[in-house]
């Protein structure tokens, strides 16, 4: 086994080097503090491997994303989201009989207890959908938690999230809830529950359903991002799957993570409200002294074109063409995309349009409310969250997560009586 050498205070230490199946190299510093008395400092954990995982591989330099070894481009083109769920959770693409069984279970677990509706009905309609989703996910545990790690819990969380998302939309719009169908796939069932009528058979637009299915696949997992790391962190305390997923929803709600696609549309709306002066905002984005931030461009991991964005760019063109949408915001988005792909400032800095930019455009075209965009992200990502959680809980090297810190506060002080602390 290779070793990495560290010289510290005149002493030399060796640490194991771990190599992944795709050639990634990590230095195992688990015994660093015990050996040297020091810890590593890595703000934001950008250079810290928190685990070994066999679920998702990313090469940000080359623009590669694979689930269980399969390129995202092939998965998005050739398989359904249900097949991706099976791949992430169980490790392999399903046979037809396995897929049929999975669909049957997902449809069974999409029916949630009536008491969950009471939970939603008790929330203010003005609340953000992500806050409502986190609340409802926590409530699911009170009705269904068994061992917290069974196949039933895993699939119930995935199917239940689909139903909760649709119900949140219906509640906010003051519409009656629509029960899930036993005959539809995940994407179609979501659209049925969101836009259907309680007294009518499902009538789902295939173009829209296919677009949603692809979006769910593209958002399914993305390695150790903020929300996935949160799910693992909470789960490492042996918190239940439901509690861990609720925490992941909270992390995803942030505008620097899952909320970015909502921020994209809000940015486009601001540009439109300012007489559509795109050039003004492009120049503001280049100005370091400006507080304006161009949302939906660049990525923490990818230094090349986000492969998911390539797929969604094509999908956005197809969806807009099929639906014949004429929307000023979509025109602004197209023009902004063209600027970013051609302007030397953006090209030099590799600020390509990312998955949030195109997903926001598609959701807008599908007439999904802007504040529901992050919930749509969660619909896909929950399959990755439960897979990561399950992998962690079954890892022989499992430990509760407990990061260290470098303390920079006051040194030891004595408490003075309040009468001696001055005015």
165 vs 177: CA distance, rounded Å: 11
Report the SS3 class of residue 160.
Answer: helix
**Which one is catalytic: 213, 299, 306, 390?**
299
Tell me the two tokens of residue 244: 């861990």
Residue closest to 53 by CA, chosen among 17, 80, 88:
88
28 vs 116: CA distance, rounded Å: 45
Known catalytic membership, residue 401? no
**Which one is catalytic: 153, 213, 221, 356?**
356
113 vs 109: CA distance, rounded Å: 10
Known catalytic membership, residue 356? yes
- Cβ atoms of residues 158 and 108 within 8 Å: no
Residue closest to 184 by CA, chosen among 201, 200, 160:
201
18 vs 15: CA distance, rounded Å: 10
Report the SS3 class of residue 66.
Answer: strand
Residue closest to 120 by CA, chosen among 176, 74, 191, 50:
176
Residue closest to 50 by CA, chosen among 202, 268, 225, 185:
225
Catalytic residues: 299, 356
């Amino acid at each position: 086994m290779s070793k990495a050498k560290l010289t510290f205070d005149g002493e030399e230490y060796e640490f194991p080097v771990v190599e992944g199946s795709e050639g990634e190299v990590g230095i195992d510093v688990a015994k660093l503090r015990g050996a040297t008395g020091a810890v590593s400092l890595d703000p934001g954990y950008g250079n810290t491997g928190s685990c070994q995982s066999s679920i998702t591989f990313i090469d940000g330099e080359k623009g590669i994303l694979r689930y269980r070894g399969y390129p995202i481009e092939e998965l998005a083109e050739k398989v359904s989201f249900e097949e991706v769920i099976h791949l992430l959770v169980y490790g392999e693409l399903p046979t037809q009989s396995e897929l049929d069984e999975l669909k049957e279970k997902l449809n069974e677990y999409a029916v949630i207890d009536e008491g969950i509706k009471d939970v939603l009905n008790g929330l203010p309609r003005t609340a953000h959908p992500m806050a409502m989703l986190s609340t409802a996910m926590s409530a699911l545990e009170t009705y269904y938690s068994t061992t917290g790690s069974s196949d039933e819990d895993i699939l119930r969380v995935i199917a239940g999230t689909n139903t909760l998302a649709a119900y949140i939309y219906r509640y906010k719009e003051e519409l009656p809830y629509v029960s899930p169908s036993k005959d539809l796939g995940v994407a179609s069932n979501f659209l049925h529950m969101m836009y259907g009528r309680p007294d009518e058979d499902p009538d789902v637009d295939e173009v829209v359903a296919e677009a949603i299915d692809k979006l769910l696949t593209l958002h399914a997992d993305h390695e150790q991002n903020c929300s996935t790391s949160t799910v693992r962190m909470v789960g490492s305390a042996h918190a239940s799957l439901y509690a861990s997923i609720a925490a992941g929803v909270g992390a995803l709600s942030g505008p620097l993570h899952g909320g970015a696609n909502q921020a994209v549309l809000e940015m486009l709306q601001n540009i439109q409200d300012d007489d559509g002066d795109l050039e003004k905002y492009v120049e503001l984005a280049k100005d370091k002294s400006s507080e304006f931030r161009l949302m939906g461009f660049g990525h923490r991991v990818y230094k090349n074109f986000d492969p998911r964005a390539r797929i969604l760019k094509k999908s956005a063109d197809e969806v807009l063409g099929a639906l014949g949408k004429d929307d000023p915001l979509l025109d602004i988005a197209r023009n902004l995309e063209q600027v970013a792909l051609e302007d030397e400032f953006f090209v030099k800095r590799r600020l390509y349009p990312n998955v949030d930019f195109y997903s926001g455009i598609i959701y807008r075209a599908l007439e999904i409310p802007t504040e529901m965009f992050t919930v749509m992200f969660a619909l896909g990502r929950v399959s990755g969250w439960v897979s990561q959680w399950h992998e962690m809980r079954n890892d022989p090297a499992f430990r509760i997560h407990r990061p260290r810190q470098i303390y920079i506060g006051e040194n030891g002080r004595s408490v003075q009586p309040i009468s001696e602390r001055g005015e």
